[in-house]
């Protein structure tokens, strides 16, 4: 016979269970601004934290790099190449080298040769600084565009430089961008050809080289496709780099936005990804370094 459980015993037991679960939670479980710890440093090594430098303009690049190092980040990207040597002296890696930019990509015949040349240059720069990744994009839609030809032109451009990348052990990372947000030139990119993450993965697979991977930008995927964790699992073999930012607004990774970054980071490590995750949000807090430290805490898995 089942013994009845009194309401008092049930409530008391539930409280103890809840307390035990809360006690075992990592700091990342609380994403509120109030939880931001000005002394927090990265404790875990499930991913390799890095930061997108342009987001923190007009802060001096080397000042940002010193703060990043103090927090426990291992790299920086999205900075002027003239800072590469000094950043490396601080002990940070260049996590991603730039190339042709998102607006003038190989989907447009006007920019095909230019994109190939800039990718080749980016690969050489990456070799020089010991970086293993170079970013690439599809480019923007244009009048009279034939989508099938545009996709094939992208593939052809990457195939031109992939022997160079493969020989150097460098991966090209194709970034998917959202085309919905027109509120700010860096919050969204209306007209971007590669605005569907599944389409970008198809391009990667059609190329068929381990030296071309997807740059999975969680913010952009959230806006255009959603279903982030399922897509991480679905595209696990194609992911070569990851970016973060809060949605909506491309702000901090706090409780004012909709993405559950602790869960996303756990899912990322569960699929076997332990490489760079670059924090690419636009700071709105009074203290942008505290915001970066908070992002590291939230994603510390």
Residue 127 falls inside a structural domain: yes
**Strand 75-77 to strand 93-94: parallel, antiparallel, or no bridges (unpaired)?**
parallel
- What is the C-alpha separation between 235 and 7, in angstroms, rounded? 47
The answer, yes or no, to whether residue 170 has pLDDT greater than 90, is: yes
Segment 108-119 mean pLDDT: 98
Minimum mean pLDDT range among 29-43, 57-71, 273-287:
29-43
Q: Which of 22, 50, 31 is nearest to 298 (CA)?
A: 31
Q: Give the model's confidence band at 6: pLDDT under 50 very low, under 70 low, under 90 confident, else very high.
A: very low
Confidence (pLDDT) at 29: 64
Higher-confidence residue: 86 or 23? 86
Q: Domain limits at 167? A: 28-298
Q: Report if residue 112 sits inside a domain.
A: yes
Length of the chain, in residues = 301
Please compute the mean of the pLDDT values over residues 154-180 and round it to a whole number. 98
What per-residue confidence (pLDDT) applies to 13? Answer: 39
Nearest C-alpha neighbor of 157 from the set 196, 100, 197: 100
φ, ψ of residue 94 in degrees (nearest 5): -90, 105
Determine the pLDDT at residue 28. 55
Q: Does residue 66 register a pLDDT over 50?
A: yes
Residue 281 lies in a domain: yes
Q: Could you give the 3-state DSSP secondary structure of residue 63?
A: helix
Residue 21 lies in a domain: no
Residue 13 lies inside a defined structural domain of this protein = no
| Whole-angstrom distance, CA of residue 198 vs CA of residue 275 | 21
Residue 30 — pLDDT band, cuts 50, 70, 90? confident
Q: How far, in whole angstroms, is CA 227 from its chain's centroid?
A: 16
Please give the DSSP secondary-structure letter assigned to residue 176.
Answer: P
Mind listing the pLDDT tens digit for each residue in 194-213?
A: 999 999 999 999 999 999 99
What are the strands of the beta sheet with 212-217, ordered from one edge? Answer: 93-94, 75-77, 48-52, 276-279, 239-244, 212-217, 171-175, 133-136
Query: Does any domain span residue 91?
Result: yes
Residues ≥6 apart with Cβ < 8 Å to 250:
181, 184, 186, 187, 219, 280, 281, 282
Does residue 53 lie in a domain region? yes
How large a percentage of the chain has pLDDT more than 70? 90
pLDDT at 44 over 90: yes
pLDDT at 266 over 80: yes
pLDDT average, residue stretch 248-270? 97
CATH code (residue 263):
3.20.20.150
Collapsing DSSP states into helix, strand and coil, what is residue 294? Answer: helix
pLDDT computed for residue 11 by the predictor: 37
The pLDDT value given to residue 21: 32
Q: What is the pLDDT of residue 12?
A: 40
- Residue 131 is predicted with a pLDDT of 98
* DSSP H or E segment with residue 77: strand 75-77
pLDDT for the residue 15: 38
Q: How confident is the model at residue 55 (pLDDT cuts 50, 70, 90)?
A: very high
Give per-residue burial for 33-63: e unless 16+ CB within 10 Å, then b.
eebbeeebebeeebbbbbbbbebbeeeebee
Q: Is residue 206 part of a domain?
A: yes
Q: Taking the alpha carbons of 277, 282, 288, 291 in that order, is the dihedral positive or negative?
A: negative
Mean pLDDT score across all residues of the chain: 92
Domains held by the chain: number: 1
Question: Region 209-219: what's the mean pLDDT?
Answer: 98
């Amino acid at each position: 016979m089942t013994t009845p459980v009194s309401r008092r015993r049930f409530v008391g037991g539930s409280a103890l269970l809840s307390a035990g679960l809360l006690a075992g939670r990592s700091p990342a479980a609380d994403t509120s601004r109030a939880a931001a710890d000005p002394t927090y440093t990265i404790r875990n090594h499930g991913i390799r934290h890095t930061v997108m430098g342009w987001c923190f303009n007009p802060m001096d690049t080397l000042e940002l790099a010193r703060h990043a190092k103090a927090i426990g980040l291992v790299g920086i990207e999205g900075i002027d190449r003239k800072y590469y040597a000094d950043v490396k002296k601080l002990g940070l890696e260049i996590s991603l080298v730039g190339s042709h930019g998102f607006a003038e990509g190989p989907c447009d015949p006007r920019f095909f040769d230019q994109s190939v040349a800039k990718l080749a240059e980016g690969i050489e720069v990456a070799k020089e600084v010991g970086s293993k990744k170079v970013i690439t994009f599809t480019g923007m839609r244009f009048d009279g565009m034939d989508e099938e030809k545009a996709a094939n032109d992208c593939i052809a451009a990457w195939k031109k430089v992939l022997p160079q990348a493969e020989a150097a052990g460098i991966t090209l990372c194709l970034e998917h961008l959202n085309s919905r947000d027109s509120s700010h030139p860096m919050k969204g990119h209306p007209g971007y050809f590669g605005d569907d993450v599944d389409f970008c993965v198809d391009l990667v697979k059609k190329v068929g080289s381990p030296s071309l991977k997807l740059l999975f930008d969680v913010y952009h995927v959230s806006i255009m496709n959603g279903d982030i964790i399922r897509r991480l699992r679905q595209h696990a073999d194609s992911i070569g780099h990851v970016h973060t930012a809060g949605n909506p607004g491309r702000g901090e990774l706090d409780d004012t936005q909709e993405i559950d970054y602790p869960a996303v980071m756990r899912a990322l490590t569960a699929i076997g990804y332990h490489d760079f995750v670059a924090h690419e949000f636009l700071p709105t807090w009074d203290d942008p370094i505290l915001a970066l430290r908070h992002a590291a805490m939230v994603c510390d898995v």
